[in-house]
Amino acid sequence: MLETFKTWMPNVISLYPDMFKALGETLFMVLISGMLATVIGVPLGVVLAVSREGGILANHKLYSTLGKIVNTLRSIPFIILLAAILPITRLLVGTTIGTKGALVPLIFGTAPFMARQIESALLDIDKGVIEAALAMGSSPLEIVYRVMLREGLPGIIYALTITMISLIGLSAMAGTVGGGGLGDFAIRYGYQYFETDVMLATIIILLVLVNLVQGIGDFLLKLVTH
């Protein structure tokens, strides 16, 4: 088995320390940016859901302003966003390269996407449940925490799963412009030196990560829906 692996992937064998380092960098970027994007995206999605027309705290000006900001950030291709916010990245983390430099654009690129996903999940909640809570005298804050977030939990888990999978792809893209991680590893050793086995190994690792995240998301989804 080992001899076969050496035959088909000789460059991967010689570069495995760098590959595992790149994997660690990717996991760091995905986990940290995922957590921070969740901290920003979930509350933002809730605000969008409750402030839209017909929401429990309808506010056209607030919804319109936040909606335009979210839509603007979502419309910018990530590779352009990386360059566009370089001054902000340098201001916040002190560098524009490496894993630290990739965190800021990853958060900027992911939080708006997550916000819309959360908003969509909350809008799928049966309005009769919310109306019943209002009739019982629940405050808007109580409705958000006791009704909307609980009833919308399956949709929220699904949104988080999709966002984390998207982050894996974006982190690889960030690596192509000096962000480190598996993307940087694939470009540096696979693409530039035409080492096909390195590219193949990187793709396999990314596929495993995506399926692992999807599996965890499906498991959590089953837990909250049974």
Q: How confident is the model over 24-33, as pLDDT tens digits? A: 989 999 999 9
Categorize the per-residue pLDDT at 6 as very low, low, confident or very high, splitting at 50, 70 and 90.
low
* Domain presence at residue 43: yes
CATH number of the domain bearing residue 113 = 1.10.3720.10
Q: What is the pLDDT of residue 217?
A: 92
* Domain presence at residue 9: no
Map tokens 């959590």 to a residue. Answer: 220
State how many domains the chain has: 1
CA 121 to the chain's CA centroid: 16
Nearest-10 Cα torsion for 164, 27, 182, 16? -140
Q: What is the pLDDT of residue 207?
A: 92
What's the mean per-residue pLDDT of the chain?
85
- Tens of pLDDT along 160-187? 999 999 999 888 888 766 677 888 888 8
* Contacts of residue 15, Cβ cutoff 8 Å, sequence gap at least 6: 189, 198
Measured distance between the N- and C-terminal CA atoms of the chain, rounded to whole angstroms: 43
What mean pLDDT is predicted for residues 3-28?
75
Contact 55, 213 (CB under 8 A): no
Instruction: Please report, as a single letter, which amino acid is at residue 116.
Output: R
* Domain presence at residue 7: no
Q: What is the pLDDT of residue 3?
A: 59
Q: What is the pLDDT of residue 98?
A: 79
Q: What is the pLDDT of residue 5?
A: 52
* Domain presence at residue 16: no
* Domain presence at residue 184: yes
Categorize the per-residue pLDDT at 11 as very low, low, confident or very high, splitting at 50, 70 and 90.
low
Q: What is the pTM of this model?
A: 0.85
In this predicted structure, the answer to whether residue 1 has a pLDDT above a threshold of 70 is no
* Domain presence at residue 104: yes
* Domain presence at residue 209: yes
Q: Which helix (H) or strand (E) holds 147?
A: none
Return d(Cα 200, Cα 196) in angstroms, integer. 6
The residue segments making up the domain with residue 62 are: 26-225
* Domain presence at residue 100: yes
